[in-house]
Amino acid sequence: MGRKSENILNDILATAKDISGKINKREPTHEEVENIYNLFNELCDLYMDAEEKTRTDIRGYVRSLRERAIYVVSGLLYSYIVKASEHIKTADDQAWLWRGSAAASIEEGLLDYKDLLVSLSHLFIAGERAGLDVKSFFQRTAEISDKTVSRQEQSTYTLLVSFHQSDFLKMMREKRV
């Protein structure tokens, strides 16, 4: 893993530990959440352009946080995906679609698969409304995602490449998310 990704991940870990230590006492402040979202912006941008080994290392690092009971990062990644969808207003906002789909690829749905589906639905629908070819964006992200089967009996690759046909997305469209 390169120095830049190590620095970003270390900053995320420090922020996550700080938030985790306080989370039983209070909700994270807006400033704390914005700080970690800014780190996620950097991480997702880096992830999309990184070599396969770096992407694997990043996914492994986030997985290790869950194993160490630092769940706040996974939870914030889901909310980050929804926040990315809120930034998508026009076709010029495609960077947010990349960031949101990268966050999904990094988190892999291992903490809460339904939360991932909800977050991806928000992202997909926002991209469609902005006139983006979301299916192509998700397929590109799928190509750089983990292809091994997770506990949900499908890989992140499979989820992203077929998301446009999912019953969950159809249901969310009907709800007019």
Q: What integer is the mean pLDDT of 28-32? A: 83
Q: Give the confidence band of 177 by pLDDT, cuts at 50, 70, 90.
A: low
| Tokens of residue 40, six digits | 């996620």
Residue 47: exposure state from Cβ atoms within 10 A (0-12, 13-18, ≥19): buried
Domain count, the chain: 1
Please tell me the predicted confidence (pLDDT) of residue 65. Answer: 79
Note down the domain range covering 80. Answer: 3-174
User: How many other CB atoms are found less than 10 A from the CB of residue 75?
Assistant: 17
Q: Helix axis angle, 72-87 relative to 113-129, nearest 10°?
A: 10
pLDDT digits (tens, 9 = 90+) for 83-139: 999 999 999 999 999 999 999 999 988 888 899 999 999 999 999 999 999 999 999
Mean pLDDT of the chain: 88
Please tell me the predicted confidence (pLDDT) of residue 2. Answer: 77
Residue 23, pLDDT > 90, answer no
pLDDT digits (tens, 9 = 90+) for 45-67: 999 999 999 899 889 888 887 77
Residue 141, pLDDT > 60, answer yes
DSSP letter at 175 equals: T
pTM: 0.87
Angstrom CA distances, 49 to 42, 55, 85, 109, 152, stand at: 11, 9, 20, 21, 27
